[in-house]
Amino acid sequence: MFEYDSVVMSRMLTSLTLAFHIIFATIGVGVPVMISIAEFIGIKKKDPHYTLLARRWTRGFTITVAVGVVTGTAIGLQLSLLWPSFMQIAGNVISLPLFLETFAFFFEAIFLGVYLYTWDRFKNPIFHWLLSLPVIIGSTMSAFFITTVNAFMNTPQGFDLEGRVITSIEPLAAMFNPATPTKVFHVISSSYMTSAAILATITAFIILMKKGSKYHKKALKLTVVATFIFSIMTALAGDLSAKFLAEHQPEKLAAGEWHFETEEGADLILFGTINENNEVENAIRIPKALSFLAHGDFNAEVTGLEETPEEERPPLWIHYMFDLMVGIGFFTLGITFLYLVFWKVKKWNEYNPLLLWGIASIGPLSMLAIEFGWIFAEVGRQPWILRGYMKVSEGATTSPHVDWMFVLFIALYTVLAIGCITVLRKMFKNNPAELELESRYPQVAATKEDD
Amino acid sequence: MNYELIGITVLWIFLYGYLIVASIDFGAGFFAYYAKLTKKDHIINQLISRYLSPVWEVTNVFFVFFFVGLVGFFPDMAYYFGQSLLVPGSIAIVLLAIRGSFYAFENYGSKDNHLYMFLYGATGLLIPASLSTALTISEGGFIEETANGVQLLYGKLLTSPYSWSVVFLAVVSVLYISSMFLTYYANRAGDKPALELVRKYALFWSSPTIIASLTTFIALSQQNLEHYQRAIELWWVFGISVGFFLIAVFLIYIGKYYGWAFIAVMFQFLFAFFGYGASHLPYLLRPFVTLSSGVTNETMAISLIIAFIAGLFLLIPSLVLLMRMFLFDADYVKGKK
C-alpha cells in the first residue's frame, strides 16, 4: 500500500512543478528570439506581414510569460520549502547564480513591459525593435544562470564540505563547473529550437485547415528555416553533452545506454527492452557507435555501469527517455530539412499535406523531447541531489503535509493550463490574421492576396 | 559596516520596494472589484489597468529578489523557514500564481469576467495577509525544533493577538498605500471623477492604518518584550513616520500636491519599516538565526554584494526608463499613447 514518505512526495511535487514550468520557460527563452527576427525582417523588407507576425506572436507570448513567471516563482520558493537542508548547505555556494538569475529576470521583466506597450510610440520602428534585444538578453541570461545551478548539482566543485560546514568557497569555480558549457549550450539551443518548432506547428496547422494566405506562407518559411538551424545547433550541443557525460558522469551515460561492462568499441543500443537479468532484448545495435558518441573514436573505451556501486546507480528506465529525446531531435531535423529540399526543388510542392502534417507534429514533439531530456538529466543523477556530496533523501523536508500540497499544486496547474489555453484560443480565433491585416494595413490587404 | 549588515540592508530595501509596489497592485485589485460591485468600475478601471499593465511583472520580481537574496545571504533561513512554512508558503504561492496569471489572462484576453474580478480582488487582500505570517513567525515562539525537524505551531499562530494585528495592519496598509497612489495617478491623468472616488478611499483608509500600527505595537510588547524595548529606544524613527503620515493625510485632505502626498506616504512607511527592521536585530528568526550566525560564507557574501552593485547599474537606468515612459509620461497616463 501507499505509505507517506516526505522524500518521495517532495520529489513528486518538485517534478510536477518543474515539468509544468519547463513548458513555459522554454517558450519564454525561445519565442522572444523569433519575435525579434520577424520584426527585424519586417522593418528591413518594409513588409507588414512580418511586423504583424511579430505583433501577433507577442500577444500570445504575454499569456505564456504570465504562467512562466508565476510557476517560476513557485519553483523558486519550493526549493527552500521542499529541500531546506539542501538549500542550507548549497545556498552558501549557489547563491551567486541564483541571485544573478533574478537580475536577468528583472531586466527582462522591465523591457518586456516597455516592449509590449510601445509598438506605435516611435516614429522610427527600429527603436521599438531595439527594445526586443534586452528582452532576449534577459531571458537567455536567466536560462544561462539557472542552468549553471543545475550543472553545479551534477558536477559540484568550488568548495570543501566538512560535515555540514562549507569552507573554501570559490563562487566562480562553482558556477563554471565542468557541466556548465554543454548544459547551457544544450538548454539554450533546444529552447530556441522548440519555440521555433511550436510556431511552425501553429502555422502549418492553419495552412492545412484553411489554406493559409501569403502571410501564413511567409510565417511557415521563417519558422521552419529557424527550426532547422536551431535543431542543427541542438544536435551539436547534444553530441558535446554526451562526450561530457562520458568523461564526468559515466554512470548517467551508462545507465542511459544500458552499457554495463566497461569495454572498447562499445555498441550503441537503440530502443529495446531489458529483462530482470539486465539483458537487453529487441534492440537495434549500432556497432561501436557509443564509443564514437562518447569519445569521438570508434575504438575508445567506455566506462560501464558496473564501475558504479549498486546503491549509487540511476534507474535503468532513463534509457527510454534518452532514446525518445534523441529520436525526436533527429525527426525534427529531418522534417525541416525535407521542407527546405521541397522548397528549393521547383518541381516539388512544399505545401504537400503530408509534409505539412509532419511540420505540424514537430512543435508538440519537441516539447516532449524537452521533458524527456530533463527527466533523463535529472533522474540520471539519482540518488544524488549534489552528486558525490548529498543524497536526495538527506535534502528533503520532514514536513508531514507534502501530499496535500501536491494535490493543491495539481489543482493550480490544471487551472492555469485551462486558463492559458482558453485565453489563447479566444485571442486568435475571433481575430484572424487576415482581419487584423485589413484593419492595420489596409493598403497591403487591398493588393491581391495570392500570387 | 560589515557585510552581513550590508546584506540585510539590501534585502530590507527590496522588501520595502515590494511593500510599496505590491501594495499598489494588491489594493488596486480590491478597489477594482469594489468599484464593480458598486457599479463605479467605468470610473477607475481604465486608470488602474493603464498603470498596472506594464509593471505587474516587475512587482513580482521584487518579491523573488527578496527571497532569493535572503536564501543567498542567509542560507540558514532557508532551513528554518523552509521546514516550517511549507503550508502557508504553498498557499501564498498559489494565491500569487492565480493573481499574476489571471491578471494577464483578463487584461490581454477576455475582459470583464466577474469571477476573474472577484479572484483579483480577494487575492489582493489574502496575499498580504499570508505573506505577513513570515514576519510574525520571525518574532519567535511560533516554531519549535524537534528530533523530527522544525515544526510550525499552528495553534499558537492562529490564537496569537500579535499575529492577527499584523495581518490587520498588512491589509489596511495595502488599501491605504494603494488609494494614496491612485489619487496621485488620477490627478496626473486629469481624471476628475476617478480622483474624487479614490481620494475618498484614501481618506477613509488612513485612520485604520494608524490605529493598526498602534495596536501592533501594543501586541508586540506582549509577544516579544525585548524587541518592543529596542523599538522604544528608536522612538524617534517611528515619530518621524507619524509626522509623514500627518503630512500625507493633510495634503490629500486639502486636495493639493498629490505627488508630495504620495512621497510622504513612502517616507512614512520607509521610517516605520526600517525602524521595525532595526529593532528586530540581531535576530532574523528568534531564537534560531541571528544576523551573524546565519550569514553565508564570507567569500560568497562579498561576491553577492559585488553582483548586487553591478546589477544596480543595470536596473536603475531601466527602472527610470520604465517610469518615465509609463508613470511620468503625462500623455500615456491620460490614455493618449
| DSSP, res B295 | P
Does any CB of chain A come closer than 8 Å to the CB of residue B73?
yes
Question: Distance (Å, rounded) from C-alpha A291 to C-alpha A268?
Answer: 8
Of B64, B76, B110, nearest to A105 by CB-CB distance is B64
Helices (H), chain B: 3-37, 41-73, 75-84, 86-108, 114-137, 154-159, 161-188, 192-223, 225-233, 235-254, 258-280, 298-326, 330-333
The single residue listed with the C-alpha cell 511549507 is B86
Measured between beta carbons, which residues in chain A are less than 8 angstroms from residue B52? none
The pLDDT assigned to A371 comes to 93
Q: For residue B182, is pLDDT > 80?
A: yes
Question: For residue A424, what is its C-alpha cell?
Answer: 489563447
Most confident of A378-382, A440-444, B54-58, B295-299: A378-382
Interval B96-149: pLDDT, tens: 888 888 777 776 655 566 777 788 888 888 888 888 888 888 776 677 777 666
Question: What value does the mean pLDDT of chain B take?
Answer: 79
Q: Which residue has the higher pLDDT, A14 or B216?
A: A14
Q: Which helix (H) or strand (E) holds A318?
A: helix A318-344
Percent of chain B surpassing pLDDT 70: 91
Of B158 and A443, the one with more pLDDT: B158
Q: Does A427 touch chain B (CB under 8 A)?
A: yes
- The pLDDT score that the predictor gives to residue A411 is 92
Task: Check if B321 contacts A (Cβ < 8 Å).
Answer: yes
Single-letter amino acid code for the residue at B147: A
Counts for chain A of helices (H) and strands (E), in that order? 16, 10
> How many Å apart are CA A103 and CA B65, to the nearest integer?
8
Write down the pLDDT at residue A22: 94
Q: Mean pLDDT, consecutive 10-residue segments, chain A of 451 residues?
A: 73 91 93 93 87 88 88 88 85 85 85 82 84 91 92 85 77 86 93 93 87 82 92 91 85 83 79 76 76 78 80 85 90 89 78 82 92 90 77 76 87 90 83 73 59 41
User: CB-based contact (8 Å) between A271 and chain B?
Assistant: no
Please give the torsion angle defined by the CA atoms of residues A130, A132, A134 and A137, in that order, rounded to the nearest 10 degrees: -120
Q: Is B109 on the interface with A (CB under 8 A)?
A: yes
A193 interfacial to chain B (CB closer than 8 Å) = no
Write the DSSP string, A195-213: HHHHHHHHHHHHHHHH---
Predicted pLDDT of residue A449? 47
Question: Rounded distance, CA A60 to CA A423, Å?
Answer: 9
Inter-helix orientation angle B298-326/B3-37, to 10°: 30
pLDDT confidence of residue B49: 73
**Interface membership of B146 toward A (CB under 8 Å):** no
Short-list A344, A360, A352, CA closest to A223? A360
Q: How confident is the model at residue B333 (pLDDT cuts 50, 70, 90)?
A: low
Residue B297 predicted with pLDDT over 60: yes
Which DSSP string do the residues of A359-401 spell out, in sequence order? HHHHHHHHHHHHHHHHHHHHHTTTTEEETTTEEHHHHS---TT
Distance, CA of B283 to CA of A239 (rounded, Å): 51
Largest CA distance in chain B: 63
- Which residues 367-426 on chain A approach chain B with CB closer than 8 angstroms? 397-399, 401-402, 404-405, 408-409, 412, 415-416, 419-420, 422-424, 426
Q: Global pTM?
A: 0.87
Instruction: Give CA–CA dist B38/B34, Å, rounded.
Output: 6
Q: What residues 48-67 of chain A have any CB closer than 8 A to a CB of chain B?
A: 59, 62-63, 65-67
Q: Is A134 on the interface with B (CB under 8 A)?
A: yes
Question: Would you state the pLDDT for residue B337?
Answer: 60
Which residue among B71, B102, B319 sits closest to A80, beta carbon to beta carbon?
A: B71
Test B148 with A398 for CB contact under 8 angstroms: yes
CA distance A93 to A161: 11
- For residue A451, what pLDDT is reported? 41
- B109 closest CB neighbour out of A102, A167, A426: A426
Axis crossing angle, helix A353-379 with helix A318-344, rounded to the nearest 10: 150
A-B contacts at Cβ under 8 angstroms: 221
Residue A227's pLDDT is 93
| Torsion sign across C-alpha atoms A321, A325, A330, A332 | positive
Closest CA–CA distance from residue A372 to any residue of chain B (Å): 26
